[in-house]
Amino acid sequence: MNTMKRSFSILIVLLAVYGCDTMFFEPDPANTPEDNFEILWKDFDRYYAQFALRHIDWDSVYAVYRPQISPATTDRELFAALSSIVLGINDMHVTLYTPMGDVYWKSRMPASYPSRRIINACKYIQCGPPQNGLFEYRTCQDPAIGYMIIPTFSGQGEGLTMADSRYLAIDEILSQWRGMKGIIIDVRGNSGGNSINAETVAGRFADQTRVYSYRRQKIGPGKDNFSSWKTSSVEPKGIYQFLKPVVVLTSRATSSSAEMFVMAMQVLPNVTIVGDTTGGGVGNPIFRELPNGWAYRLSTEMEADAQGRIIEGVGVFPDVPVVTTAADSANGIDRILEKGIETIRMSP
């Protein structure tokens, strides 16, 4: 009988502990318009890394918008207020996701922006049936020049492996192209993804380890709580590195991790960047969510190129600036690709 009592008393204590979440955690914030606004504002206040860079007085944002929010504020009114705030930050990595639509600042690309893609492809490259791989690669009309489109750097490996093994296909392509005079890599339409994949590809063109960017991160709630500047490096990877002339084609649509790829390639002596300035946003965003189910993301760091120039909101400058105009496009001319081919041909 005593054993039963003991077991029962222990069981009671264990069950009490088992249901003790509230002892270790504060309750969730309330789902009210005021709480949702406050959470979003405070998250940006604590985590967003680029206020000073973008000349934003975040306290004044609070002073302007907070009085507009009350318990009677509807979802649509809250959406309007938060959308206005998000758009005012002018950061491509700041996005508000709601059932009423996604709100994000679009880059400075005009509505018609032919620089972002290849034009009149069969004029410049040897067209063929569609390819199934991640990379689209062919030779130019000059068969001594390889042409490769990398449409994205998205994807990640399984578990703790961060690199996506699909990008290792670059080794097979380069082994086929060992005899080429040069290679053109087109990332004009690449909006980024996983920077590790970008480094995986860039390393196949590196002769030695080189620093290609500097970054610093938000490490505290204060506006000036940043880490020291840290370096990112590109280093030789793979069984073979292609060290002959390489041209990387860029545009305003080249953004995020694709810009890291461009920065990594730009420091390599055999690489020339041809095209338009890139989108201008690395930011390393994190996702957040509100008690009403809306989500948003914000940038937690800032990035500078190898020369120390901040690229957030600015972009990476090409070595050879060229744009394809609407008139070029109408005439079937890909001005950027033409310049790329010319650069390879002119190289020693």
Partner 1 sequence: MRYESILVMSLILGSVRLSFSQESAPNISFEPQHLLTLSSGISSHTVRDEMMSPLLYSGTQVPLAFTYRFRGVDNRHTVLLYFDNTELHSSITRSIRDVAVSHYIKNLHLMFEYSFATGAVVFENLNTACFLGARLTGILNLRNHYVLQDKNHMSAEQMTGVGIHVLTETALQQESQNLLRIEINIPCISYVLLADRYNANVSEKLDNIDFDQNLLWQLFKKGDIVSFNTLFEIQADVSYSVFVTDHIGFDLQYRLLYYSFAQYQDLFHARVLSNQFLLGLTVRL
Residues 6+ apart with CB under 8 A from 327: none
Residue placing its CB nearer to partner 1 in the complex, 126 or 209:
209
Quick one: which of 1, 111, 160, 346 contacts partner 1 (CB under 8 A)?
Answer: 160
Is the Cβ–Cβ distance between 206 and 270 less than 8 Å? no
Residue placing its CB nearer to partner 1 in the complex, 171 or 338:
171
Residue placing its CB nearer to partner 1 in the complex, 258 or 274:
258
Quick one: which of 50, 107, 190, 194 contacts partner 1 (CB under 8 A)?
Answer: 194
Q: Does 310 bind partner 1 (CB under 8 A)?
A: no
Residue placing its CB nearer to partner 1 in the complex, 196 or 248:
196
Residue placing its CB nearer to partner 1 in the complex, 1 or 111:
1
Quick one: which of 116, 218, 335, 339 contacts partner 1 (CB under 8 A)?
Answer: 218
Q: Give the separation between CA 15 and CA 24, rounded to whole angstroms.
A: 15
Q: How far is the CB of 139 from partner 1 (least distance, A)?
A: 28
The one-letter code for the residue type at 103 is V
Is the Cβ–Cβ distance between 86 and 104 less than 8 Å? yes
Quick one: which of 32, 83, 90, 217 contacts partner 1 (CB under 8 A)?
Answer: 217
Q: How far is CA 213 from the centre of its chain?
A: 14
**How many residues lie near partner 1 (CB under 8 A)?**
63
Site string for partner 1, 249-288 (x = CB under 8 A): --------x--------------------------xxxxx
* 268-to-166, 203, 247, 344 alpha-carbon distances in Å: 24, 10, 11, 15
Q: Which stretch binds partner 1 (CB under 8 A): 7-15, 143-151, 304-312, 334-342?
A: 7-15
Site string for partner 1, 18-57 (x = CB under 8 A): x-xx-xxx-xxx-x-------x---x--xx----------
List b or e across 266-293, with b for residues whose CB sees 16 or more CB atoms inside 10 angstroms.
bbbebbbbbbbbbbbbbbbbbeeebeee
Angle of helix 195-202 relative to helix 257-266, nearest 10 degrees, comes to: 30
Q: How far is the CB of 215 from partner 1 (least distance, A)?
A: 9
Q: Does 211 bind partner 1 (CB under 8 A)?
A: no
Site string for partner 1, 101-140 (x = CB under 8 A): ----------------------------------------
Q: How far is the CB of 282 from partner 1 (least distance, A)?
A: 10
Quick one: which of 291, 307, 326, 332 contacts partner 1 (CB under 8 A)?
Answer: 291
* Selection from 189, 162, 182 nearest residue 278 by Cα: 189
Residue placing its CB nearer to partner 1 in the complex, 120 or 232:
232
Q: Does 301 bind partner 1 (CB under 8 A)?
A: yes
Enumerate binding residues for partner 1 (CB under 8 A): 2-3, 5-6, 9-10, 13-14, 16-18, 20-21, 23-25, 27-29, 31, 39, 43, 46-47, 97, 99, 156, 159-163, 194-196, 200, 217-221, 225, 227, 230, 232-233, 235, 237-238, 257, 284-293, 295, 300-301
